[in-house]
């Protein structure tokens, strides 16, 4: 057996020898990107202790992080790593007692809210994934770019009307409640503004919550597939 392989196996075994790190890996295995603060709350640990465990997992290249605003979001490094971890879970599955209850947050807030100037929440994540699946936007590193098909689609639904070219580029922004990408930047701001003008959502004055209207729910369900 290759000595270097043995050393890697020992480092992996050491990294996975703590139940807190097993929980972190288990949480990340569904493809989400989670912030250190979210994980600290989930684990009921101090920020310092959580960062220690995250560094252990990064050192053996099981996870990596991406900075978004003031926060670091952690995810499984790549598909090959996820497949390797999955194979170890098949042999030694995590016990049910390792999983902690989900943090309860307001359902309406989780459904739709403003994130700076763009839409966030479950509706935003669903829209983003639908746009990707239908080829209306492409992923370019940390950005989304509207395709020619996307321009036609957005114009048809009056989602991008009389906007500058900068509105066709959006930043990949990780949704804190859904833990998946949604569209930020100029594209996200233009989309939200158009949806507000068409009264798909109503904006609450005193907080970030958005109220989806019957018209908006019908329109969104018709374009999300």
Confidence of residue 96 (pLDDT cuts 50, 70, 90): very low
| Domain boundaries defined on the chain | 3-98, 107-223
Q: Average pLDDT in the 77-88 region? A: 77
Over residues 6-17, the pLDDT tens digits come to 677 788 888 888
Q: Please state, in angstroms and as integers, the Cα–Cα distance from residue 89 to each residue in 32, 82, 93, 99, following that order.
A: 18, 10, 4, 14
Long-range contacts (CB closer than 8 Å, 24 or more residues apart) made by 184-187: 184/115, 184/116, 184/118, 185/118, 185/143, 185/144, 187/137, 187/144, 187/146
Extended beta strands in the chain, E state: 34-35, 63-68, 71-76, 113-115, 118-120, 137-140, 143-146, 169-174, 181-183, 201-203, 210-212
pLDDT digits (tens, 9 = 90+) for 46-81: 999 999 999 999 999 999 999 888 889 999 888 778
Kindly indicate the confidence band of residue 192, based on its pLDDT and cuts at 50, 70 and 90: very high
Q: How far apart are CA 109 and CA 27, in angstroms?
A: 22
CA dist., res. 146 & res. 215, Å (int): 25
Q: Is the pLDDT assigned to residue 164 strictly greater than 80?
A: no
Beta bridge partners of 74: 34, 65
pLDDT for 202 equals 93
The percentage of the chain sitting over the pLDDT mark of 70, rounded to a whole number, equals 86
For the cut 70, the answer to whether the pLDDT of residue 85 exceeds it is yes
CATH 1.10.10.10 fits 3-98, yes or no: yes
Query: What are the tens digits of pLDDT across the range 194-224?
Result: 999 999 999 876 668 899 999 999 999 999 9
In contact, 68 and 173? CB cutoff 8 Å: yes
Q: Which two tokens stand for residue 85?
A: 């971890």
pLDDT at 176: 79
**153/140 Cα distance (integer angstroms):** 20
Structure tokens at 108: 């309406």
Q: Is the pLDDT of residue 93 over 60?
A: no
Position 97 scores a pLDDT of 40
For residue 123, the model assigns a pLDDT of 96
User: Is residue 105's pLDDT more than 80?
Assistant: no
- Whether the per-residue pLDDT at 28 is higher than 90: the answer is no
Pairwise pLDDT comparison (112 vs 162), residue with the higher score: 112
pTM: 0.72
- For residue 174, the model assigns a pLDDT of 86
What average pLDDT does the structure give for the chain? 85
Max CA distance (Å), the chain = 65
| 174, 23, 56, 104 alpha-carbon torsion, rounded to 10° | 40
């Amino acid at each position: 057996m290759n000595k270097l392989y043995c050393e890697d196996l020992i480092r992996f075994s050491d990294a996975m020898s703590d139940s807190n790190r097993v929980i972190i890996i288990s949480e990340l295995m569904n493809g989400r990107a989670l912030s250190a603060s979210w994980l600290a709350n989930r684990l009921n640990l101090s920020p310092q202790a959580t960062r220690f465990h995250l560094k252990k997992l990064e050192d053996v290249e099981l996870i990596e992080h991406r900075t978004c605003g003031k926060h670091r979001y952690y995810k499984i490094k790549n598909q090959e790593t996820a497949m390797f971890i999955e194979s170890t879970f098949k042999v030694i599955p995590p016990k049910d007692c390792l999983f902690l209850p989900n943090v309860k947050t307001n359902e309406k807030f989780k459904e739709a809210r403003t994130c700076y100037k763009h839409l966030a929440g479950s509706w935003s994540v669903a829209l983003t994934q639908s746009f990707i699946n239908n080829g209306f936007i492409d992923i370019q590193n940390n950005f989304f770019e509207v395709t020619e098909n996307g321009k036609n689609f957005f114009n048809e639904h009056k989602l991008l009307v009389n906007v500058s070219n900068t509105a066709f580029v959006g930043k990949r922004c990780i949704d804190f409640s859904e833990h998946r990408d949604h569209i930020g930047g100029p594209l996200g701001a233009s989309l939200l503004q158009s949806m507000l003008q068409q009264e798909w959502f109503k904006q609450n004055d005193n907080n970030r919550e958005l109220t989806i209207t019957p018209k908006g729910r019908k329109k969104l369900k018709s374009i999300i597939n």
